[in-house]
Amino acid sequence: MNFPILYLRKGAERRLRAGHLWVYSNEVDTRRSPLTDFEAGVQAELRAANDKPLGTLFVNPHALICGRLISRDPGHGMTPQRLTQRMEVALELRNRLFDRPFYRWVFGDSDGLSGLVIDRFDSTVVVQISTAGMELMKEAVVRAIQRLVHPEAIILKNDGKMRKVEGLDTYVAQAHGPEVSLLKVEENGVRFEVPLEGGQKTGWFYDHRMNRQRLQAYAPGKRVLDVFSYVGGWGIQAACAGATQVTCVDSSAGAIDSVHHNARLNGLDNVETIEGDAFEALKALADEKEKFDIVVLDPPALIPRRRDQKAGEEAYARLNQLGLRLLERDGILVSASCSMHLSQEKLVDIIRGSGRKIDRFVQLLEQGHQAPDHPVIPGIPETDYIKSCFVRSLTGFF
């Protein structure tokens, strides 16, 4: 294939040689290859300042991340055949990991498919495309899904924030099969049903699967508070594992309705809900002298951008202090984060500081990670974003 050429500034290739796959607009030699010469989504050959080929990439001149590497081979672009091959390789891993077809099938850069996320819900497949290059391959993505798993329905849920950054329209469309309004999920032996309309991301978060499984070991006979519960992923699983009582907190009325629906779906009658802002709800529970054996904190990304670092870390600290205050004398705090800008070490430090702030002796029991259907690429720190800490909190002990 004959590609246009994108040149890097001197030294800008170091991060790529170390394993990263992104090119930022300020790394481009715009004298030799003006970004305005490229159309959004076009494939190009990438060269270092010394003219050495580095591979091929998708280009979007309108985005800060203006290039996403497709291949280290300058002669290979992203064809429908290569797309299908990489999707098949990704599928082989998930089928090896899980005995039921409920998982993240494609995790963007981690599967060599930058800008593409695919979640599988048995016979329904939900696709999210976030880059201009992958948008141009939308039809090839749908054909590959049909060929590889023969689903009843394929949904394009292209309404994420990243699309605006890439200059793409947002939409939700049925690409194949009958219209689907409810996604059915099975995770760790527990069933869920999630409305597609109004649902977050693809409708479900498979990334905390293993951490929710670990929660089940702590739950029997305990009273559990699930904060930022969404449709009850943590709380319902705790109840199914033998928790005596579960309270789910979320600001969305739709999510609260889904919690009750999923409790009934699993034959549970011990799940309560609180609709409202999480911080306000936690303060109100503390004022009411409520106590729980387990408190789960799984907020949305409180540090969405690097410039939000300080404010976000302060928010995590307030949240963890509130959670610790609501624990019984010998309670368990599950503190989770999906902020890629918050390291595991920093989360542990925030928990340490929160314990000292309110005079709690805390023991770090376990540290959790994202599930293996969200593989991490060592050269791309951004792919390593999920973390969780299981912490025992003791009062009057030390």
| 304 phi, psi to nearest 5 deg | -65, -30
pLDDT of residue 123: 96
At residue 166, the pLDDT reads 93
Q: Whole-angstrom Cα distance, residue 312 to residue 49?
A: 38
Check residue 197 and give its pLDDT: 79
Give which of 49, 41, 191 is closest to 116, Cα–Cα: 41
pLDDT for the residue numbered 160:
85
Contact in structure between 247 and 211 (CB atoms under 8 Å): no
pLDDT at 201: 73
Cβ atoms 48, 89 nearer than 8 A: no
Return the pLDDT at 189: 95
CA distances from 349 to 52, 300, 314 (A): 44, 19, 12
> Domains of the chain by range and CATH?
5-71 (2.30.130.10), 80-180 (3.30.750.80), 191-394 (3.40.50.150)
* Neighbouring C-beta atoms of residue 116, cutoff 10 Å: 27
pLDDT on residue 38? 97
Give the residue ranges of the chain where pLDDT is below 70.
Answer: 1
Six token digits for residue 37: 């010469």
For residue 133, is it left (φ>0), alpha (ψ between -120 and 50) or beta?
alpha
Closest by CA to 126, choosing from 160, 162, 174, is: 174
Query: Among residues of the chain, what percentage have pLDDT more than 70?
Result: 99
pLDDT for 202 equals: 79
Active site positions, annotated:
338
